[in-house]
Amino acid sequence: MTLPPLPPSRTPSALICDIDGTITDERRRINTDAIAAIRTLVDAGVPVVLASGNTICSMDILCKMIGTDGTIIAENGGVYRVSFQGVPRICGDQKLCWEAFHILESHFAEQGRTLDLYSPDYRVADVAFARTVDIAEVRAVLRAFPVRILDTSFAIHLQSPGVNKGSAFLHLAAEMGIEPADFVAVGDSENDAEMLGSAGMSAAVANGHQVTKDAADIVTEKLYGDGFVEAVRFFFSAYFLER
């Protein structure tokens, strides 16, 4: 990726990034170079936010092991929190999501098929299940129901309309006291597009969905976690000059 240096007015001060497909490989193994890049920023005092479809408890483990301060967006924007000590802010209407899920459950039960839920006891805003059914069929069954359907390539999520990583990011940035324009956002999936579009600077890794690439300022040459490192080194080059 050969791009000119960022002008001084575009120097970022914070990072928000997706996890699965962005700082991992295709098998969901976390890229160790991506962890090193995040720690370089954290150690330099740059706030790093992890944004994912995962549950809060899963995010807590990841934040602790990677080394961030626990500021997160979870459940695809359904909930966010500033630091480990912060109060989780729930944006999504899980009751609505469960109603939609039960419609799907009945539909597929008539075919002798079941839906495998992901972490139902730990979710507070959305409903997630395994990608063992056709997403097009899911959308067709729920076409008249007011719910957002997300295929993250790792799971299918049901979310409240208007709730996404981008909307949660704007609330989170305000609570952090940082302008969205000062953030770099990095992601890969279709559900990252609003987040990338809301940040001042953004990158999609090369394996990303076309919608996400269209929302990004740059698209990396490298895939997955290697692409994330490429993007971070571009936008935050001053912190990597000696590496």
Residues 132 and 170 in one domain: no
Assign residue 224 the CATH number of its domain: 3.40.50.1000
Burial level of 32, CB count in 10 A (0-12/13-18/19+)? exposed
Q: pLDDT tens digits, residue range 91-120?
A: 989 999 999 999 999 999 999 999 999 999
- Give per-residue pLDDT as tens, 134-182: 999 999 999 999 999 999 888 999 999 999 999 999 999 999 999 999 9
Q: Are residues 32 and 127 in the same domain?
A: no
- The reported pTM is 0.92
Q: Is 18 a catalytic residue?
A: yes
Q: Tell which of 138, 159, 180 closes a domain.
A: 159
pLDDT for the residue numbered 8 = 46
**Out of 18, 20, 188, 226, which one is annotated catalytic?**
18
27 shares its domain with 137: no
